[in-house]
Amino acid sequence: MNFSTIRKGGLDPQEVRLHLEAVAREMGHLEHKIRELQDQLAEALRRAAHPTLDEATLAAALGTQSAAILRSAHEESGRVTAEAQERSTQLFAEAQQRSAGHLIDAQERAAAIISDAEASAAAIDHDARLAAERLIDAAKANGGALVDRAREQGRAIVEQANEARKTVLNDLAVRRKALHLQIEQLRVARDALTVHVSAVRDQVESMLSGLHSSDDAARAAALEALRLRPPTPEPTEEELLAGTPLREVPETPEVVPEVQPAVVAAPPAAPPAAQPPTTTGPPAAASPAAPASASEESTGTDVVNEIFARLRKATLEERGATAPPPPRRAPAKPVTPTDELFRRRDGALEESLAVLTRKVKRALQDDQNVMLERLRSVKGMITTELEDEHAQRARYADAAFDALADAAAAGAQFAYDESGANGAAVDRQALQDVSADLAVTIVLALRRRILADGSGDGQERVNTAYKEWRGARVERLCTDAARRAFHIGVLAASSGRMVRFFPSPHDPPCDACALDTAAGERPAGQRFPSGSAQPPLHAGCACAVIPV
């Protein structure tokens, strides 16, 4: 049997395995045939050993010739059986010898193949190690070159950055000088405008004083007319309201109780000598009534007050409202040093907070007018018609910056009053960040509200969005921003000193406020455990940072 060779003189193991399987099948077939022949021989021997009829009987029955044939058959069967046994033995020996030879050859060839494979694997491993070492050396060389090149590039970038920094600083210095010049010009213009505003205010005050004096004159004329009027029976309330024209009052959900004129709150005054009453007869008729008694004057004043009281009551009933009850005073609570501290803080912040709220609401109104003008007769998607977001933010940031600067100045003054702290000036960039955060919060909320509402035309959606922001919501945002600017001023004045976090005595502290309170004293400007350097830590936080 010839087999196919593979690498370096080895035999194909698949062909060797197939040949051995064929030899095994042939040996099995021969063994089966030998067993069949042995069974036949045993059966023949058994029959021969135990014949049913003896020769005498057969000879007597069949004759001599038949007996001779039977003996020949017995002899032939013995010879065939002997030959078959000898042939099967010979074939079995040859098959065992051939299978043993094939097995030995297969084992020798497998051992040779394994040794060749091991030698090839060792050679490949050696080559791979050499190649890996060469790659490592090349990578080290390339890495060193890359590091050197990166260092050179880094030096060049640093030099370019320094040059750009110098250029930017020079440009900023030039712009700073120009801004200082513009600021001086604005200050001069502000002073001139202040002079004009003062003159206008003086004129307005003179006009208001003239109006107040005219009210007094009218009141005196009404009293004089009541004195000169002959006594008549007092009209009933129905007759008085039936003859009194009342103005039309539109229905509104809000109750505005202050509708009385200024005559009701003012006490009765004597008529000036230079202005005689004009609602009565000639001046000569007024002189006899001059010595009237004090009881008649008080009676006339009571009648006037009663008339106006009835008019106020009728107006409120027409609107469907009642007179506001007198305010109830809350029971007095004990005042602690912390309460007094926060009272002084709120008092120092009150004026700047009011200015900030007023300016932001005015910016809201201006922004609404701009938005209404842009969205006139727009329906459906209005994304492209909205004003530029940065321009919209700048409107609120510019409106709030001056008030926030005043709040920071109030904080610095508060720190000086409390502990004599007089450190660094307030960082302008920090105040710009506060105004920018306030502007971003308002603008993003307004734009999201306008874009989220898909019903109605553009102007209706804008009015709805701005109406929601014109009340307590913007006041809360302004309060948080003003407190943040206030504490920025406190920390700036407390530079180089220790400060402490105080929770609000009116609200339960949150987890972050409690953590900062437990931290104790810290250098001004250093962040507290909550991650913030000053309150508010959350919306509506009324806590404070006070220099020690």
Confidence of residue 400 (pLDDT cuts 50, 70, 90): very high
Instruction: Find the range with the poorest average confidence among 53-57, 217-221, 289-293, 507-511.
Output: 289-293
The pLDDT tens digits of the residues spanning 346-364 come to 999 999 999 999 999 999 8
| Percent of the chain at pLDDT exceeding 70 | 72
Task: Return the DSSP state at 325.
Answer: P
Q: Is the confidence at residue 273, as pLDDT, over 70?
A: no
Collapse the DSSP code of 5 into the 3-class scheme (helix H, G, I; strand E, B; otherwise coil) and give the result: strand
Task: Report which of residues 485 and 533 the model is more confident about.
Answer: 485
Instruction: Find the range with the poorest average confidence among 73-87, 264-278, 339-353.
Output: 264-278
Three-state SS sequence of 357-388: HHHHHHHHHHHHHHHHHHCCCCECCCCCCCCC
Q: Which two tokens stand for residue 1?
A: 């049997």
**CA–CA distance, 527 with 512 (Å, rounded to integer):** 12
Element (H, E) at 121: helix 64-228
**480 contacts 541 by C-beta, under 8 angstroms:** yes
Three-state SS sequence of 38-61: HHHHHHHHHHHHCCCCCHHHHHHH
| Percent of the chain at pLDDT exceeding 90 | 13
Q: Which of 31-40, 209-218, 283-292, 456-465 has the highest mean pLDDT?
A: 31-40
Give pLDDT, residue 289: 36
Q: What is the mean pLDDT of residues 72-76?
A: 83
For residue 250, CA distances in Å to 3, 246, 313, 318 come to: 116, 12, 16, 10
**CA–CA distance, 441 with 439 (Å, rounded to integer):** 5
Q: What is the mean pLDDT of residues 239-268?
A: 43
Q: Which two tokens stand for residue 81?
A: 């059986």
Confidence of residue 30 (pLDDT cuts 50, 70, 90): very high
Concatenated DSSP letters for 389-456? HHHHHHHHHHHHHHHHHHHHHHHHHHHHHHH----SPPPHHHHHHHHHHHHHHHHHHHHHHHHH--SS
Give pLDDT, residue 105: 86
Nearest to 545 by CA among 524, 518, 529: 524
Give pLDDT, residue 316: 57
Confidence of residue 201 (pLDDT cuts 50, 70, 90): confident
Residue 537, φ and ψ in degrees, nearest 5: -85, -15
Instruction: Find the range with the poorest average confidence among 28-42, 324-338, 484-498, 512-526.
Output: 324-338
**539 contacts 476 by C-beta, under 8 angstroms:** yes
Residue 545, φ and ψ in degrees, nearest 5: -115, 125
The pLDDT tens digits of the residues spanning 109-144 come to 888 899 888 888 889 989 999 999 999 988 888 888
Give pLDDT, residue 88: 85
Give pLDDT, residue 241: 52
Collapse the DSSP code of 236 into the 3-class scheme (helix H, G, I; strand E, B; otherwise coil) and give the result: coil
**Roughly how many angstroms between the first and final C-alpha of the chain, as a whole number?**
108
Concatenated DSSP letters for 260-289? --HHHHSPP-PPPTTS--SSSS-HHHHGGG
Confidence of residue 483 (pLDDT cuts 50, 70, 90): very high
Q: Is the confidence at residue 405, as pLDDT, over 90?
A: yes
**476 contacts 468 by C-beta, under 8 angstroms:** no
**CA–CA distance, 108 with 130 (Å, rounded to integer):** 33
Torsion of CA 95, 97, 98, 102, to 10 degrees: 130
Nearest to 250 by CA among 299, 318, 309: 318
**CA–CA distance, 94 with 312 (Å, rounded to integer):** 140
The pLDDT tens digits of the residues spanning 209-234 come to 777 666 667 767 766 776 676 665 65
Check: pTM over 0.85? Answer yes or no.
Answer: no
Give pLDDT, residue 479: 93
Confidence of residue 204 (pLDDT cuts 50, 70, 90): confident
The pLDDT tens digits of the residues spanning 279-337 come to 333 333 333 333 344 444 444 455 556 666 666 666 555 555 455 555 555 444 556 78
Q: What is the mean pLDDT of residues 475-497?
A: 91
Provide the mean pLDDT of the chain. 76
